[in-house]
Chain A
């Protein structure tokens, strides 16, 4: 069974440019999460989807970040415009039964804004 697939693995962009990350969760996992992990820190939740509905986006900086999960499967996270402080690893995870049963993470996208 394929795991959570993310692309691209690495992205380097200049500040003020847009960038998008893509995630394909494990088949059948209704819940999808986007996390951001800064160097030396644990992941922090940006947004959580139940099927196609964003049920927790309280930590998503909505002035520049947006996300969508059309048809309740794949998801895209976008930043426009990117700032230097957005440099981090963006992790996508999915789960079948929620927070108490563990998540499966993708390998992440390492974003560098210069």
Chain B
């Protein structure tokens, strides 16, 4: 069982559509991070959220940290083919897991032109 559950596992949409991916846990984290990984490359950090209820925007991407710091969402507006990739959420500062990041299994996003 994954500590962080991501949904959906796979998403295929047309260019211009909006989408939301979710990251859920029964555990509390000090921080929640989102990474994007392209084939053959390592994950690249998109954002870190540390405050319950926090919302951060990065151009067309909006990230939200749940009030209880157990879940997060990533919303993409007007998706583009360049958004294609594996989106990973990762939790840090969980007392049970110490000072290390724990990753979800990821959401594979494909944006078709």
| Chain A residues in the interface with B (C-beta under 8 A) | 4, 33, 40-45, 48, 56, 91, 93, 98-108, 110
Nearest B residue to A43 via CB reads B103
The answer on a CB contact under 8 Å between B93 and A105 is: no
Alpha-carbon gap, A67 to B16, bound state (A): 46
User: Which chain B residues in 53-94 approach chain A with CB under 8 Å?
Assistant: 88, 90, 92-93
Nearest B residue to A44 via CB reads B103
The answer on a CB contact under 8 Å between B106 and A100 is: no
Interface size on B, residues (CB 8 A): 27
The answer on a CB contact under 8 Å between A105 and B42 is: yes
Chain B residues, Cβ within 8 Å of A105: 35, 42-44
The answer on a CB contact under 8 Å between A98 and B99 is: yes
CB-CB under 8 A for A103 and B45, given A41-B105, A44-B103, A56-B98: yes
Chain B residues, Cβ within 8 Å of A44: 103
The answer on a CB contact under 8 Å between A99 and B99 is: yes
Chain B residues, Cβ within 8 Å of A110: 40
The answer on a CB contact under 8 Å between A101 and B48 is: yes
Which 5 pairs show the lowest CB-CB distances between chains A and B? Answer: A105-B42, A42-B103, A99-B92, A100-B31, A102-B45
The answer on a CB contact under 8 Å between A106 and B100 is: no
Neighbour of A93 across the interface among B31, B42, B88, B98, CB < 8 A? B42
Chain A residues, Cβ within 8 Å of B105: 40-42
The answer on a CB contact under 8 Å between B40 and A42 is: no
Q: Is B50 an interface residue (CB 8 A)?
A: yes
The answer on a CB contact under 8 Å between A99 and B42 is: no
The answer on a CB contact under 8 Å between A107 and B41 is: yes
Neighbour of B42 across the interface among A45, A101, A107, CB < 8 A? A107
The answer on a CB contact under 8 Å between B88 and A33 is: no
Chain A residues, Cβ within 8 Å of B40: 107-108, 110
Nearest B residue to A98 via CB reads B99
Q: Using A42-B103, A45-B102 as known contacts, list a sample of 7 further A-B pairs with CB atoms less than 8 Å apart, ordered by residue number in A.
A: A42-B90, A42-B105, A48-B100, A91-B42, A100-B48, A102-B33, A105-B35
